Amino acid sequence: MAHSPSISTAWALCILFCGAYFDTTIDLVAASGSSSSALELEAKTLRDSGWWPSQNASDSSSPCEWYGIICNAGRSVIGIDLGSVTLGSKLKLNFSYLPNLVSLGLSQTNLQGSIPSEIGFLSELTVLDLSYNNLVGFIPPEIGRLSKLTSMYVTFNGLIGNFPPSLTNLTEIEVLDVSSNHLTGFIPNSFGKMSKLVALDLSNNDFTGPIPSSLGLLPNITHLLLSENNFNGSVPKEFGNLSKLIQLNMKGNSFIGPIHSSLLLLTNLTHLLISGNNFNGSVPKELGNLSKLVQLDLKGNNFIGPIPSSLLLLTNLTHLILSGNNFNGSIPKEIGHLSKLIQLDLKGNNFIGPIPSSLPFLTNLTFLDMSSNQFTGFIPSKIGLLKGLVGLDLSDNMLIGQIPSTIGNLTNLQTLFLGRNQINGSIPVQLGSSKKLTHLNLEGNNLTGSISVDQANFQVLEHLLLSNNSLSGNIPHQIGYIRSIKSIGLSHNFLSGEIPFEFWSLPYLNFLDLSYNNLTGKIPDGYRSRTSFALIGNKNLCGNFKGIPPCLATSPAIVSSEKSTRITIFVSIPISFLILFAIGVLLLRRRMVKQTKPSSLERKNGNLFSVWNYDGHIAYEDILKATENFDIRYCIGTGGYGSVYKAELPCGKVVALKKLHQLEAENTTFDKSFQNEVKVLTEIRHRNIIKLHGFCLHKQCMFLVYEYMERGSLFCILRDDTEALELDWNKRVNIIKCTAHALSYMHHECIPAIVHRDISSNNILLNSKFEAFVSDFGTAKLLHLDSSNQTLLVGTYGYIAPELAYTMVVTEKCDVYSFGVVALEILMGIHPGELLTLLSSSSSQNVMLHEILDQRLPPPNHRVAQDICFVATIALACVRTKPESRPTMKRVSQDFVSGNKPLAKPLHAVSLLHLIEDSETQS
Ligand SMILES: *[C@@H]1O[C@H](CO)[C@@H](O)[C@H](O)[C@H]1NC(C)=O
Ligand SMILES: *[C@@H]1O[C@H](CO)[C@@H](O)[C@H](O)[C@H]1NC(C)=O
Ligand SMILES: *[C@@H]1O[C@H](CO)[C@@H](O)[C@H](O)[C@H]1NC(C)=O
Ligand SMILES: *[C@@H]1O[C@H](CO)[C@@H](O)[C@H](O)[C@H]1NC(C)=O
Ligand SMILES: *[C@@H]1O[C@H](CO)[C@@H](O)[C@H](O)[C@H]1NC(C)=O
Ligand SMILES: *[C@@H]1O[C@H](CO)[C@@H](O)[C@H](O)[C@H]1NC(C)=O
Ligand SMILES: *[C@@H]1O[C@H](CO)[C@@H](O)[C@H](O)[C@H]1NC(C)=O
C-alpha cells in the first residue's frame, strides 16, 4: 500500500517552524511592556472563554500561571497553546484584548462554529494553528491583515468558500496548510506574493481550475501538495523555477497533458506523485535525471510506451508505482538495479514478456504487484530470495509451469495471489512455511493433486480460494482446525469424500463455496440460514439445505439429486466480491417480557467486573447460567470480533451478549477494539443506535450486553427470500432514513465526532418492527484521539470507500460512502457491486432505476416511488468517487427530514443518469 508522505511530512515541517519563530519573537514583545488595565482585559477575556474551568470570575491569579499560556516579561500574554485539550466551544476570545499574542495553538480542541473576523486584530500573530477541529464557515479575509503571520494551519475542519485573495497579502508566510476542508473555486493568481512560502498544502478540497503560473514564483518552496481537488489544465511551465521543490503531490485531480519538461528540471525532487489524473504520452527519458527520487507514483493515468531505461538509474527509488496505465513492452532486466525498492506496482498495464530474472535481487521488496498484464513464462524459483515480501500478486497473467517450492522461503508473506494464470502441478507443501499467510488465492489455474493444508502451519489463514482448478482427493479435515478462516472457496474442482464436519463449527466462516465437486454425505441440520454457503453441483450431497435434496430416512448418506435447481446467488457473482461478506449477527426472536426489578439477586463475585452498568445487580454467574457457560446452543452468530449469544437473564429480560474468544481477548488489538466499542457506546444515545446495557472487562472473559434485536441483521434479511418480502418498500425507505439520522448524529452531534468505519448491512440490526439500529463499533475510533487519522484498513470489503485504498485517511466521508452502498443494497436487495463499477465507468445512462430495484417485491405505488427516487438520488451522491463531492450525513439527514420533491416522470421512465444529474444540481 503506497503510504502518503505528504501531509505528515508537511506537518513535521510545521512544528519545526512554529518552534523557531516562537523563540525569536518572545524577546521583541517582552520589551514593549503593558499597562495594568490592558493586562486585566487580557485576563478577563481568557477567563470569560471558560477554557480554564478552574479559573472563575473571582479568581485573581495571573493567566501567566495557567496551563498553556506564555507571557512576556511584562506579563502580557504572547502565547496560547491548548493543543489536544477538549474545549468543544466556539473560538470566543475577544481578540482586541490580546494585542501581543504571537502564537495561537488550538489544534485538536474540538472547536465549533466559525473563525471570527476579529482574528484580524491579532497584529503580532506569527503562528495560527486551528487544525483538526470542527470549524465551519469561511476563512475570514481579515486574516490577510496579519502581516507577521509565518505559519497557518486550518487542516481537517469543515471550512467552505473560496481561498480569500487577501491571504496572499501574507508576505511573511512560510507554511500554509488549508488541506482537508471543503474549499472551492480558483486559486488566486496573486499567490506569487507569498514569496517566502516553504510548504503549501491545498490538498483534499474542491478547488477547481488550472494552477496559476504564479505558483512558479515561490523560490523557496519545498513542499507543494495539491492532491485530491478538481484542478485541471496542464502543469505550468513556470514550475521549472521551483528548484528547491522536494515533494510535489498532484494526485487525484484532472490534470492533462504529458509530463511537462519543466518538471524534469526539478532535480531536488524526492517525491513525484501524480497518480489519478489524465496525464498521457510516454514517460520522458529525462525523468531519469531526477536522481533523488524516492517515490514515483504515476498510477491511474493514460501513459503509454515502455518503461524508459533511464528510469532504472533512479537507484534511490523505494516506491515505483506504474499501475493502471497503458504501459507496454517488457520489464528491463536492469530493474534489479533499483535495490532499495520496497513497493513495485505494475498492475493493470499491457506489459509482456517474462518476469525478469533480476527481480529476485530486489531484496527489500515488500509489495510486488504484477497482476493484470500479459506476463508469460514461469515463476522464477529465485523468487524465494525476496524474503521481505509481504504481498505478492501475479494474478491475471499468462504464467505457466508450477508454483516453485521456494515460495516457502517467503516467510513474511501475508497475501499470495496467483489466480487466473495457467499454472499447473500441485500446491507445494513448502507453502506451509509461510506461516503469516492470511490470503491464499490460486483460483482459475489448472492445479492438480490433493490439497495439502496443515493447520499447524496456516494458523492465521483467513481466505483459502482454490476454485476452478483440477484438484482432487478429499478436503483435508485440517482446514477445519484453522480457526481464523473466513472464506473457503473450492468450487469447480474434482474433490470427493465428505465435507469435514469441523467446517460446521468454524467460528468465523462466512463464505463456503464447495459447489461443483464430487462431494458426498449429509449436511448437518442447523445450517439452513447460512445463505453464503454454496454446495450445489455435488450430486451425492443431501440435507436440509438450499438447493440440496433432503436425505432419505433410510439412506442418509447418499441420495441422488434432481432437485438442485435453485442456484444460490454466490455462483453467479465473482468470488472476490463475496470474500469478506461477514455473516452478521443472526438474532432470534425476543420474548417480550416486562422487565421486573431484580431485587433478590445480589451482585456476586463483584470483583470480576471492572465496570458494570446494567442495573448493578447482575453477576457474572447469572450470565454463565443463562448461557450455560456460553454453550454453542445459545450462540446466534459470529462476527469479526467475537460470537454473539442470546441470554435470558433471571429477571426475564433477553439480551444479546457479544463475547470475545479467549484467543482474541489476549490479543491487544482485540482488547483495544473492545475498549473502543465500550467507550463509544457508553457515550452515545440515539434512537437508531443499538443500546449497550452493560459490559464486563476481565482478562478471562470480555463481553458486551446489548439490547436484543429480534430480526437480526439487514444482511441476513435481504438474503432470505421470505424475510426480504416482509421488508416492504416503506420499511426499506425507513431503514435508510433511520441509518442516516444515526450517522448524522455520530458525525455531527457527538463530541468528538465518531466515524463508524464499518457501516455495512451486517452492522445494521432490526428490531421486531423492522426499525434500524446501527451496531458494531468495534472499529470505530474517536477521530479526535488520532492525530493523523491514518490507520490500517478496516471495514468490510465491498463497502469501503475507494480513497481508503490509497490514502488510508479515515474521514466521515468514508462512512458516507458505505452508507450509500448500504442504501443501494436495500433498494436492490443485493450488494450493488457491479453497479458501482458501472457507475464509475460512465456507462450507467442506459440503466433504468426500476431495473435495479429488488424484483422480489411488487413494484412500488406512486407515492412510494417518489420516496425511492429521492433515496436513490441521495445514495448515488454518497457513492461518488471523490470524498469531497459526497454530501455530509447531516445534509443527508436534513434532506430526509425536509422531504422529497414530487416525481415528474413515472418510475419506469427514470434512469440512473437522470438521478445522478439531479443530485448534482441539488448540491
Ligand atoms: C491586501 O493588500 C492590498 C494591496 O496590496 C490592499 O489593497 C488590501 O486592502 C489588502 N487586504 C487586506 C485584507 O489587508
Ligand atoms: C529563501 O530562503 C533563503 C534562505 O533561507 C533566504 O535567504 C531568502 O530570503 C528566501 N527567499 C525569499 C524570497 O524569502
Ligand atoms: C536543490 O536545493 C538546494 C537547496 O535546498 C539548492 O541550493 C539547489 O540549487 C537545488 N538544486 C537545483 C538543481 O536547483
Ligand atoms: C540518492 O540520494 C542521496 C541523498 O539524497 C544522494 O546523495 C545520492 O546522490 C542519490 N543517489 C543517486 C544515484 O543519485
Ligand atoms: C534494505 O532495508 C534495510 C532496512 O531498512 C536497509 O538497512 C538496507 O540498506 C536496505 N537495502 C538496500 C539495498 O537499500
Ligand atoms: C530456501 O531456504 C532453504 C533453507 O532455508 C535454502 O536451502 C534454499 O537455498 C532457499 N532457497 C532460496 C531460493 O532462497
Ligand atoms: C489440466 O491438467 C491436466 C493434467 O495435467 C490435463 O490433462 C488437462 O488437459 C489440463 N487442463 C487444462 C484446461 O489445461
Three-state SS letters, 56-116? CCCCCCCHHHCCCEEECCCCCEEEEECCCCCCCCECCCCHHHCCCCCEEECCCCCCECECC
Cα 666 to Cα 461: distance, rounded to the nearest angstrom = 19
Cα 451 to Cα 474: distance, rounded to the nearest angstrom = 8
**Given the residues 129, 393, 758, 867, the one annotated as active site:** 758
**pLDDT score at 454:** 66
Sorted by sequence, the CB contacts under 8 Å of residue 285 that are 6+ apart come out as: 308, 309, 310
- Closest ligand 1 atom, residue 145 Cα: 14
**pLDDT score at 604:** 31
Cβ of 244 closer than 6 Å to ligand 3, yes or no, is yes
The angle at the Cα of 862, spanning 861 to 863, to the nearest 5 degrees, equals 95
Instruction: Tell me the three state secondary structure of residue 48.
Output: helix
- Closest ligand 2 atom, residue 195 Cα: 13
Sorted by sequence, the CB contacts under 8 Å of residue 487 that are 6+ apart come out as: 462, 463, 464, 465, 509, 510, 511, 512, 578, 579, 580
Q: Which ligand is nearest to the CA of 340?
A: 5
**C-alpha distances out from residue 3 to 171, 271, 279, 295, 541, Å:** 33, 12, 21, 10, 48
Sorted by sequence, the CB contacts under 8 Å of residue 205 that are 6+ apart come out as: 178, 179, 180, 181, 182, 183, 184, 228, 229, 884
- Closest ligand 1 atom, residue 142 Cα: 13
**pLDDT score at 272:** 96
Cα 391 to Cα 880: distance, rounded to the nearest angstrom = 29
Distance 314 CA to ligand 4 centre (A): 9
Spans of the chain below 70 pLDDT: 1-35, 56-58, 454-456, 525-532, 546-547, 553-621, 637-642, 651, 660-683, 694-702, 777-797, 804-809, 842-845, 900-904, 922-923
Cell numbers linked to 653: 429480560
- Do the annotations mark residue 658 as ligand-binding? yes
Are residues 207 and 163 in contact, defined by beta-carbon separation less than 8 angstroms? yes
The angle at the Cα of 366, spanning 360 to 372, to the nearest 5 degrees, equals 75
Residue 824 corresponds to which amino acid? L
Question: Of all helices (H) and strands (E), which one includes residue 320?
Answer: strand 319-321
Query: Within 13 Å, how many C-alpha atoms sit on residue 722's CB side?
Result: 3
What ranges make up the beta strands (E) of 415-491?
415-417, 439-441, 463-465, 472-474, 487-489
Q: Whose CA is nearest to atom 10 of ligand 7?
A: 446
Q: What is the DSSP letter of 671?
A: H
The two counts, helices (H) then strands (E), for the chain are 16, 47
DSSP state letters, 880-921 = -SSGGGSPPHHHHHHHHHH-PPPPSS-GGG-BHHHHHHHHHH
Sorted by sequence, the CB contacts under 8 Å of residue 307 that are 6+ apart come out as: 283, 322, 327, 329, 331, 332
Residue environment code for 688-713, b if the CB has 16+ CB neighbours within 10 A, otherwise e: bbbbbbbbbbeeebbbbbbbbbbbbb
Cα 180 to Cα 790: distance, rounded to the nearest angstrom = 13
- Phi, psi at 352, each rounded to 5°: -125, -175
Q: How many CB atoms lie within 10 A of CB 763?
A: 29
**pLDDT score at 185:** 94
- Closest ligand 6 atom, residue 408 Cα: 1
**C-alpha distances out from residue 79 to 33, 36, 45, 117, 722, Å:** 15, 18, 14, 20, 66
- Phi, psi at 623, each rounded to 5°: -65, -45
Are residues 250 and 226 in contact, defined by beta-carbon separation less than 8 angstroms? yes
Cβ of 217 closer than 6 Å to ligand 2, yes or no, is no
Q: How many CB atoms lie within 10 A of CB 11?
A: 20
Q: Which ligand is nearest to the CA of 404?
A: 6
Q: How many CB atoms lie within 10 A of CB 310?
A: 15
Distance 317 CA to ligand 5 centre (A): 12
Q: Whose CA is nearest to atom 11 of ligand 5?
A: 340
- Verify whether residue 758 is a known catalytic residue: yes
Cβ of 267 closer than 6 Å to ligand 3, yes or no, is yes
Question: Of all helices (H) and strands (E), which one includes residue 8?
Answer: helix 6-30
Distance 167 CA to ligand 1 centre (A): 9
Whether the model clears a pTM of 0.75, i.e. scores above it, the answer is no
Q: Which ligand is nearest to the CA of 291?
A: 4
Cβ of 434 closer than 6 Å to ligand 6, yes or no, is no
Q: Whose CA is nearest to atom 6 of ligand 6?
A: 409
Cβ of 448 closer than 6 Å to ligand 7, yes or no, is yes
Cα 246 to Cα 184: distance, rounded to the nearest angstrom = 26
Question: Of all helices (H) and strands (E), which one includes residue 176?
Answer: strand 175-177
Q: How many CB atoms lie within 10 A of CB 768?
A: 12
